[in-house]
Structure 1
């Protein structure tokens, strides 16, 4: 299987700057809402942060499943397999390990955090022959009202998630499905375990750039914070100790981490009873439509308002020269050797597993993959013509 990717690298970039927009977003009392925002149109959609319990990834390849920690839900890994569904109990509850959504990416939900090998996606294992992810685990979920339920993701097959949940004594058992086709052009489909229903709560992926939300970080213990995440397929660069009038993003590294903007551009000043904003801090955002914006914050009011004050500005890159980097990897899936073909010079490559751990680095055009365990990997190729990421399967 050949996989061809075109990477466009801007060389000799001249930057044109448009007028800036001063705006604000209110997430309500105690940050009760998610607010989806577009740099071009402003607020796109507002949704109660507590109207869902779990969420299933629609786009992407990681089959990420989130738990609504902002609502107060807690997910626990248990020692029970699906085959032990009827004998599940909470006698050893204190030994169950709590699982958390990643504080950096949409691609690693709480249900995906316990993995044993590169075919293991946490809640289930990928079958290379059938291309089905078969569930293998029972989780315990504690809802925000204290209700305990056991839940298992049965499988993801033909674009449909199938799952089952019940009270811990086995009563009130429900089997449900989420078809990806019913949530086209969305990042996630959401589900309420208390309401036994799916929820279509996101705008179209193409319609928003940022979401003002609440999420869990470790500082050092888990704590819910109010902050800003970027959409999928969006890259962000952070510029510190710079004037807010800065117009060039040259020299700053763009990351696909979704929480680069995050929460810690603000700090609560207890003596003054209000938040202060980090000075001389600007974020550059390269959206999924390949538009560039800068954004910086001018204020934040928590409590009854949950209000963000900020300025953003479009920065259009006028390209003097465009170089196309042709990158081909083959074969894919691979057993012994993976080949990289490019019209540029390979400066380096870095192979990571799905947990983000680097397992192999080098700068050759032929990679010895025989030493890798079977499973999915992400190959980051850095060439003289640019940098790109490719997913491949070691078979």
Structure 2
């Protein structure tokens, strides 16, 4: 019963202490930009959507993924899984090609990875320990430009060749061969390449600087009792972020949610096109976004203008403090609020047996900056003065008997 009282106390105070923040973003007219958003810093980053054709996973020497820019209207087809067929690609045979799509649930399954080779576009060579290309692809653009494309190998990066179809002469142009190394653009998840300009481009922030990506992507769209591949405008989340979707009114509970890894959990269906061809927001649809540091933000969309401006808005509320309750095996519980904090925090805890109860705060370098013994054998709330601490991130450690827990504390 006391544990329930602790949770109710912490939950009620958290509702008061957390304020909603209105966020306004724009993808630009005709969705000209892809926009990345970081909750913790309330920061957005915008990149021209059509600046890249292919994205190459760069985070590992052993893991690879290759995505097509489907949001810019580029289609990808597998022509053949025989390397020699690269030389004889004929666009008159387009009807016989197989169209491939990016996964909209997993960043690590790009369209190129969906080909018929063991690794989508190639086979592993056990002698050289290199994945070698076997599959010829064609990229088709919205202006009917065609480019044939072949990944030759992956070994700490991607070596590939490609050629552009010349419609006036009905021939392929000279091959361009390029290598995009994993070491390019360190601290980002993908490297991006523009085939027309024959250059790498930066099209995303550093991996620690974003949670959500507002973009266009291909999904299985409901149609006449089945699904069809269709390009939608919506949200994909960072690979290290998890998201819960919940239908609710009033205040929701982030503790009661099921957090999903599928990157399209927010997706596109938070808005509905009405009879006047304007977008209505789904009023009772909320999302809980848990970032890499286990901070949780409650998200609710409030407007979407569509392609005329690409403007959208949502309310974001940091509800991390509502997750700050920890239940120990011995029946003890611990929580604190607010977080972020200024001047002081309030410790709420329950101690079932008479034993040592201690709370300490550490800087991110591991230096202990505050320590206090707490009362034991009961349900308590106790204020803790932190006015002497500089702004920044800290770790708060609560210990009871031989059990302990640590949580992140943000001092503003």
2:56 — aligned with what? Answer: 56
CA RMSD of aligned residues (A): 2.1
CA distance in 1, matches of 2:82, 2:119: 15
Which of 139, 142, 165 is the aligned partner of 2:140?
Answer: 142
* 1:269–1:62 Cα change, 3 Å: farther
Q: Distance in 2 between matches of 1:65 and 1:182?
A: 15
CA distance in 2, matches of 1:277, 1:203: 28
* Match status 1:295 vs 2:292: no
Distance in 1 (CA, whole Å) between partners of 2:77 and 2:237 is 27
Q: What's the offset of the Cα at 1:257?
A: 0.5
Cα separation, 1, equivalents of 2:273 and 2:194: 33
User: 240, 243, 246: which is aligned to 1:239?
Assistant: 246
Moved over 6 A (4+): none
Say whether 1:318 aligns with 2:319: no
Which residue in the other structure is 1:256 paired with? Answer: 261
Q: What is the deviation of 1:92?
A: 2.4
Secondary structure at the residue paired with 1:24?
A: strand
Q: In the aligned structure 1, how far is the partner of 2:311 from the partner of 2:191?
A: 27
Q: Do the aligned partners of 2:115 and 2:135 also contact (CA within 8 Å) in 1?
A: no
C-alpha distance in structure 1 between counterparts of 2:187 and 2:241, whole Å? 15
Report the CA distance between 1:235 and its aligned residue: 0.6
1: CA distance between counterparts of 2:88 and 2:314?
Answer: 53
C-alpha displacement at 1:138, in angstroms? Answer: 0.5
- In structure 2, the residue matched to 1:280 is 284
Distance 1:146 1:135 in 2: 26
C-alpha displacement at 1:127, in angstroms?
4.0
Aligned counterparts of 1:99 and 1:295: Cα–Cα separation in 2: 32
Q: How does 1:1-395 map to 2 (within 5 A)?
A: 16=14, 18-59=18-59, 62-115=63-116, 120-127=118-125, 130-157=128-155, 159-168=156-165, 169-219=171-221, 220-240=227-247, 242-246=248-252, 248-270=253-275, 272-316=276-320, 317-321=323-327
Are the counterparts in 1 of residues 28 and 311 from structure 2 also a CA contact under 8 Å?
A: yes
Greater RCO, 1 or 2 (C-alpha within 8 Å, sep 6+):
1
State the shift of 1:77 in Å.
0.7
Structure 1, unpaired ranges of 5+: 1-11, 324-395
* Alpha-carbon distance, 1:176 to partner: 0.4
Q: TM-score, normalised by structure 2?
A: 0.70
Between the aligned partners of 1:273 and 1:262, the Cα distance in structure 2 is 20
C-alpha deviation, 1:196, in angstroms: 0.8
Tell me, in whole angstroms, the C-alpha distance in 1 between the residues paired with 2:328 and 2:116: 41
Displacement of 1:155 in angstroms is: 0.9
Question: Which protein has the bigger strand share?
Answer: 1
User: So what's the TM-score if we normalise by structure 1?
Assistant: 0.72
Give 1 or 2: higher helix fraction.
Answer: 2
- Cα distance, 1:90 vs structure 2: 3.2
SS of match in other structure, 1:144: coil
Shift of 1:53: 0.8
Give the 3-state SS of the residue equivalent to 2:184 in structure 1. helix
